[in-house]
Chain A
Amino acid sequence: MWRYIGRKLFVYLLTFVIAVTINWMIPRFMPGDPVRSMLSRASVGNPEALERMNEYYTGVFGLDTPLHEQYLSFWAGLFRGDLGISVMLFPQPVLDIILRSVPYTLALLVPAILLSWIVGNRIGAFAARKKLLDNTILPVGYILTAMPYMWLALLLAWSLGIVADVLPTANGYSPSLRPEFSWLFISSLISHWFLPFLSMFIVALGGWAIGMRNMIIYELEADYSNYLQALGAPTRLIRRYAFRNAMLPQITGLAVQLGTVLSGALLTEIVFNYPGLGTLILQALNNRDFFVLQGTFLFVVVGVLIANFIIDIVYVLVDPRTRVQMTGGAA
């Protein structure tokens, strides 16, 4: 048990170190002067402020110290939770800006992933039952997974938001409101949340349905299914076993798909100008605010690693095979 978890932790830790290193290397080894190119875009009218920023960023990059010192001080800053100071929203710390956006992204991501997983698995299991259903659900599923997230988002925004005019298509809540704990504000939050959520949910649905369908068909061909059939067990029992067993690889699939769905969330947010990390990334890019960009990158990587680890633990707990092996049952 601990060996397995230790191994996983090691990989995640290694990934983290590599991500941090990439993050540190990119601005230093890419052609061009990052500070200048960053500040050239910064819309600062006041020359005094520009001077201050220039000083600050040159200091942060520590470009005059040896590389290994730069690297170490980068890590040291990281452990203090210091991701630098934003250019576009100078002098706000990057961490604060990111933390403001994270709840919106999570609010989209978590329900979209979980619900599409649950519903997709159901649909996939259903598709594996009948030829006719399979021949319709399967192509639809593939077309859904082939859709670029932002395109479905555009289609939904256009059809439900603009043409039918039933739901708002931009921002996290109505610009005329201020964040407060009131029914008005919360309902505004929900109505703005719905379309981006729906669009992510639909795209992700296809993949899960297909995965489940394939896994179930595989399980229905497994030896234990054949054995039960030969002994006259009803289809109901065999399907129940197949469904349960097919769920397990789908849990691992959750970890594998995480990156894709997350990317989808970022793209969807941009379409809806939803104030999460995706929109933040776009703003950072447009303003060449590399501190925000890189801070977001690290933040996302850490989030993905944590989510992966949680899924690993859940898998160990759910699959009796690994559970038994790990608690050291008799063999």
Chain B
Amino acid sequence: MSEIAGAPGAADPAGGPEPTTTERKTSEVLHFAVRNPKLLIGLGIVLSLLLLGIFGPFFIDQDPNEYVGPKSQPPNGEYWFGTTSFGQDVWAQFVYGLRSTFLIGAFGGGVAFVIGTTVGFVAGYKGGIVDEILNMLTNVVLVLPALVVLIVITAYLEVRGVFIQGVFIGLTSWPWAARAVRSQALSLATRDYVDLARLSGRRTWRIITTEIAPNMSSYLVMSFILLFGGSILIAAGLDFIGLGPSNGVSLGLMLESAMKWSSLYLGMWWWFIPPGLGITMIVGSLYILNVGLDEVFNPKLREL
């Protein structure tokens, strides 16, 4: 997934002929942020879906998997997104599904982010044999196809939850983030102020967290967003194969049951269109939001 986002190039903060202070830079970033349609549209869609996922379930009384209504109803006034072959409310499932989709994105993406940035920072900063070993580890995990590994691992689990799913997704999808962070850290680690910190005897992780990480914070934010989106897609794939959380609700599980109960051949489009659309909108908006962020943070990409 590394090629997806606009790889933020080595962002030279001071492009102009005059010096820029941090304060000025912040206001400049804001200035561009509120004028960047990609950022605004992406953020708008993600936030509204997030709000729907957080608050929507409070307005739904029944369990989303409960058989509440007439079977196989197309969308109507009472069941906005129609009902399944069993009379489950698709809208209720969709709203709950959004919630768990964000959850798995945050969780899987979070685990991958922590592993990826840690490995990347340590490899890039320490160099030498540590770098060699971590790099090799990264390459090994990188070439293993994540979904297939996940299928084999989760197939043996008797009970599956969102938590376990997130951990496993995180464990398999961190490598490209580690690579990206490593190359950035590598270039930052040779800067003067880092040398200074090192000479003054500060501990490695202190230097990383206080000197290196803040200087690539925008880069880290963008990496996290990509990992977030990637986790959602992988989780949806697992759910679709039938390895989703047991007795849970998720957009991927909705697709699975729609497929399993032949909604396709019964012409029940309202069963399989909403979950896929939800995933596409969340992940697509995240990606577009990311491009917007890149344009805002990277002076080279700004338009005047």
Contacts and interface: CB of A to CB of B under 8 A. Distances in A.
Indicate whether A and B are direct neighbours in the complex (CB within 8 Å): yes
Interface of A: 11-12, 14-15, 18-19, 22-23, 26-27, 30-32, 34, 138-139, 142-143, 145-152, 154-155, 157-158, 162, 169, 207-208, 210-211, 214, 218, 221, 250, 253, 255-260, 262-263, 266-267, 270-271, 281-282, 285-286, 290, 293-294, 296-297, 300-301, 304-305, 308
B151 A150 contact: no
Which of A14, A155, A157, A263 counts the most B-chain CB atoms under 10 A from its CB?
A: A263
Interface of B: 1-4, 6-7, 9, 38, 136, 139-140, 142-149, 151-153, 155-158, 176, 229, 233-234, 236-237, 240-243, 252, 255, 258-259, 264-265, 267, 269, 272-273, 275-277, 279-284, 286-288, 291, 300
A27 B267 CA distance: 40
Which of B2, B152, B281, B291 counts the most A-chain CB atoms under 10 A from its CB?
A: B152
A221 B153 CA distance: 45
Contacts of B143: 11-12, 15, 255, 259, 304-305, 308
**Which applies to chain B's interface (DSSP): helix, strand, loop or mixed?**
helix
A218 B11 CA distance: 12
B6 A214 contact: yes
A3 to B, nearest CB: 14
B9 A218 contact: yes
A255 B187 CA distance: 25
Contacts of A12: 143
A150 B140 contact: no
B142 A162 contact: no
Contact of B145 (A145, A152, A155, A259): A259
Contacts of A253: 2-3
**Which applies to chain A's interface (DSSP): helix, strand, loop or mixed?**
helix
Given A267-B240, A282-B242, A26 B152 contact: yes
Given A150-B255, A169-B264, A263-B145, A14 B140 contact: yes
A210 B146 contact: no
Q: Which 7 residue pairs across A and B have the least CB separation, nearest first?
A: A151-B276, A146-B284, A263-B147, A259-B145, A211-B3, A146-B283, A30-B156
A142 B287 CA distance: 6
A250 B3 CA distance: 8
B148 A262 contact: yes
Nearest to A206: B4
A18 B276 contact: no
A142 B284 contact: yes
Contacts of A19: 144
Contacts of B264: 154, 157-158, 162, 169
18 contacts: A12-B143, A14-B140, A18-B140, A32-B156, A138-B291, A139-B288, A146-B286, A169-B264, A208-B3, A218-B7, A221-B9, A256-B176, A257-B3, A259-B146, A260-B145, A285-B243, A297-B151, A300-B148
Which of B153, B176, B276, B279 counts the most A-chain CB atoms under 10 A from its CB?
A: B276
Given A11-B140, A154-B264, A301-B144, A207 B288 contact: no
